[in-house]
Chains A and B, each alone.
Chain A
Amino acid sequence: MGNRYLRRLATLFFSLFVISLLSFALIEFSPGGAMARYVENPNISQADRTRMAERFGLDRPAPLRYFIWLRNTVQGDLGTSFMTGRPVLTEILERLPATLKLMTFSFFISIIVAIPIGIYSATHRHSLFDHLAATGSFLGLSLPSFWFGLLMIYIFAIWLNWLPSGGMITPWFDPSAYPLLIRPFVIFWEHTRYLLMPAIVLSLSNIGSWSRYMRSSMLDVISQNYIQTARANGVPERKVVYKHALRNALTPLVTLMGLDLPGFFAGAVVTEQIFAWPGMGRLFISAAGNRDYQVLMGIIMITAVLVLLGNLLADLMYRFLDPRVNYEG
């Protein structure tokens, strides 16, 4: 048992190593380089640029820089930002909570919407609802989030004026201005109204794929003989669906959720940009624009760690959910 987890852990570290090597190489091969953004600036001479490159250690050969970066990273130092001069880790940790807040909310929206749609579609196969859900999920999967996000802003923020078009919280929001009794609700709504649109946009494609997956997984289980036996025993249909079928149908979905985790981070990059959400995704875009490669590497690595841990968690959960999975082997 312990051996098994050790092996998983070793794989995890090896994956991280390969990811870092590949991203470093990609960044290194991309045209321009860290000093490119100063080329057009008449106030910075060639000598200035050489001096800056030397100060950042950019004059050294790439393999050496990678090993220095790797040594520091292992020790928990992700370097300093070329742009701000602040430690990369500090920059990221400032932005991470916002991204996690958005992702968690969007994750729950996806689950709450996708699973019931999947169950209903499976138990009412070929009904009108099933066809509508199929169409809806293909729309959800294929609509580009930047377009859908802008459409939502146009409708709900500009036209109807129900929700704010972007940001995370009203800067001058003061909960003490409200009576104590309704204060928790006011605080909750203040957070939710900013979250709602970006979270929906982020969950859209997941709702599409998860509800389809849930439907087919549920259909698989419903055709099993133990469902027939339960019916033959006179178990009420509701109980057949929710007790016997649902639990068995949910387990494969857990794996899918783990595998879709990278999609949340990738989606967050676009969504955060549209809704001016002060998270890691926007930091990533601005870092890429500014050629702040240290920050870029840092974000990639943190994301990789979170995704790999998420997958590990999904695997462990699977073990608890399905007694057939045997991890001894």
Chain B
Amino acid sequence: MSNLLEVRDLKKYYHLGKGVGKEQANVVRAVDGINFAVKKCETLGLVGESGCGKSTAARVILRLLTATAGEILYEGQNIELLSHQQLLPYRRKMQIIFQDQAGSLNPQLTIGSALGEPLRIHRLVIGKKELKAKVEHLLELVGLCSEHMCRYPHELSGGQRQRIALARALALNPQLIVCDEPVSALDVSIQAQIINLLQDLQHKCGLTYIFIAHDLRVVNHISDRIAVMYLGKIVELAGKKALYSGAKHPYTQMLLSSIPRLAPAGQRQRTIFSGELPNPLHPPAGCHFHIRCPHAFVRCTIEEPLMQMIDSDHNVACHLLDK
């Protein structure tokens, strides 16, 4: 299968407090040179702690934020350099849904007009009748009915709002949907419904997902491959099975051991998380993770580890591999 999206050495830096002599010190490297590719119809999970740059990466990929450096190749075309007009066809193919379902719908617009807007912008429908039919179809697709059309977002529940957000993302028949923690704000039973809906739609419409989450169970359930991010960098990228059975990076191991499991006391082996995410303004030298890593040695404090391929579908950035 060919790559639908490829990200090459993508960077997004924020310069804080521009001032005389400050340019050097105050740079936050939210996304610091990430590389990955997404194949058609697959789901790439993107996990990591809060503040590791997952959401920033998502927004840069969709060009909601301008990248500092790097390439975003959509079907081979670098969309990073396109103008607003040139980008319009790609806007149709890439959509995003957010964690905060209340904030992702304009409170002033009824569901009907919110769903109708992308259709009108891209002139995909002619006349009011067709618009209404298409909106009804979209609502049906996400398991809602046409009577929701004249409701306002605040009249719906969280799960229903997330379905609406999904319906709007689907309105333009996209190929790629970036899901930025789409279920984190929902309770567990609704999470399952939305996840199942996402999977159904993937089969029905041939969608590709980039699925961002901090909950590994959810990511495990839906993803084909998983990328683990730490402080703006991808530290491990592997197929789901390879990652869960043989995680190589200590950070991934930590994340995996933190998943709550039902097991008799004493039978569980847990690597306890120590420390917190360091200040992204002053990340530690060498491997960013070494201050929290139980296996860190001298080299980790000096040299930054590079991504190495250890298997056809397993990449890790860690000095332990050479040891």
Contacts and interface: CB of A to CB of B under 8 A. Distances in A.
Interface stretch (A127-135, A164-172, A173-181, A229-237): A229-237
B8 interface: no
A57 B117 CA distance: 70
Interface centre among A226, A228, A235 (most CB of B within 10 A): A226
B118 A248 contact: no
Interface in B90-129: 91-92, 94-96, 98, 100, 103-108, 117-118, 121-122
Contacts of B300: none
Given A232-B64, A233-B172, A226 B91 contact: no
A323 interface: yes
A34 B107 CA distance: 57
Interface string A213-232: 00000000000111011111
A322 interface: yes
Contacts of B88: 234
A235 B95 CA distance: 13
A244 interface: yes
B165 interface: yes
A25 to B, nearest CB: 45
Nearest to B97: A229
A264 to B, nearest CB: 29
Contacts of A233: 91, 95, 117-118, 121, 168, 171-172
B154 A229 contact: no
B95 A324 contact: no
B62 interface: yes
Contact of A228 (B64, B87, B107, B117): B64
Contacts of B171: 233
A166 to B, nearest CB: 45
B59 interface: yes
B106 A244 contact: yes
Contacts of B62: 232
Nearest to A223: B103
A252 B59 CA distance: 29
B152 interface: yes
B105 A226 contact: yes
B172 A229 contact: no
Would you call the interface of chain A mostly helix, strand, loop, or mixed? helix
B96 A323 contact: no
Given A234-B88, A234-B91, A234-B121, A229 B108 contact: no
Contacts of A224: 103-104
Contacts of B84: 236-237
B122 A229 contact: no
A191 interface: no
A247 interface: yes
A205 B118 CA distance: 41
Interface string A94-125: 00000000000000000000000000000000
A322 B109 CA distance: 10
Contacts of A323: 107-108, 152, 154
A234 B119 CA distance: 10
A53 B118 CA distance: 76
A248 B64 contact: no
Interface in B204-247: none
Contacts of A230: 106, 117
B154 A324 contact: yes
Nearest to B88: A234
Interface string A244-275: 10011000000000000000000000000000
12 contacts: A224-B103, A224-B104, A225-B98, A226-B103, A226-B104, A226-B106, A228-B64, A229-B165, A232-B62, A234-B118, A235-B117, A324-B154
Which 4 pairs between the two chains have the least Cβ-Cβ distance?
A: A234-B91, A225-B104, A233-B118, A225-B98
Given A224-B104, A232-B94, A248-B107, 16 more contacts: A224-B103, A225-B104, A226-B105, A228-B64, A228-B104, A231-B64, A232-B64, A232-B91, A233-B95, A233-B121, A234-B87, A234-B91, A235-B121, A248-B106, A323-B108, A324-B154
